[in-house]
Amino acid sequence: MSGPFDLTGKVALITGGSRGLGREMALAFAAAGADVAIASRKRESCEATACEIEATGRRALAVGCHVGQWQSLPQLVETVYAHFGRIDVLVNNAGMSPLYPSLDQVSEELWDKVLAVNLKGPFRLSALVAPRMARGEGGSIINVSSIAAIRPSPMETPYAAAKAGLNAITVAFAQAYGPKVRVNAIQAGPFLTDIAKAWTPEIARAVSSRAALRRAGQPSEIVGTALYLASAASSFTTGAVIRVDGGQP
């Protein structure tokens, strides 16, 4: 690939990169010329995606890491720097939203777990990587947010609160580490990833009827926005929260 979307010579670190939207971004970045580090709790899944990337001729690294554990993140960053020597693109994609029967039955454990993975981890990982990007050649941080941040429902309230916080730190980090580091968020709508397999027919119909495009997204449809934000194509875009949701109201 050549042109503004070219990632040749770049290194990307993607959390939650072994499946769903993360996997699509990892493969797309590799196709654009990047080497890719993939992190998730299950290293075996990361290794499978890494093998796919290496089959294309790019380098890949699989790292087992729980991004919700603050103390684990320095080792993740050091492992990637030791292997590749740099991080040019960080994608905070790992997320979770466990089911619960009602708001009054949300436990402290569930609340802490959801906030840890969706907000605390991205904050800490960005705080570790952004200064090193700023001291070097710069870079791009992409936070994967959710339409729930601005359209919360009672059944995903902890997740919505975390993603709203993620939108906030996107703007703050853009201000803190500009001009060499750009920080943006993709505010994703419903996508047909593994999570969608648990949807009831009623949920699936509701998702389709609300969107202007009358459907949920395919995971590959995240790629255009991700490549834009990762590459020089978005050189004048930072502190932005970009909706990729099929036209949710």
How many CA atoms, within 13 angstroms, populate the side-chain half-sphere of residue 225? 23
For residue 92, give the nearest of 141, 130, 47 by alpha carbon: 141
Coil, strand or helix: which one is 198? helix
Considering 100, 159, 177, 228, which one is annotated as catalytic? 159
Active site residue 100: no
How many CA atoms, within 13 angstroms, populate the side-chain half-sphere of residue 148? 22
Long-range CB pairs of 66-70 (<8 Å, 24+ gap) are 66/41, 67/15, 67/16, 67/39, 67/92, 67/94, 67/117, 67/121, 67/122, 67/125, 68/113, 68/116, 68/117, 68/120, 68/121, 69/116, 69/121, 70/120, 70/121, 70/124
For residue 71, the tally of other CB atoms under 10 A from its CB is: 8
Cα separation, 42 vs 63, in Å, equals 8
In this structure, what are the phi and psi dihedrals at residue 73, rounded to the nearest 5 degrees?
-75, -35
Cα separation, 5 vs 3, in Å, equals 6
Active-site residue list: 159
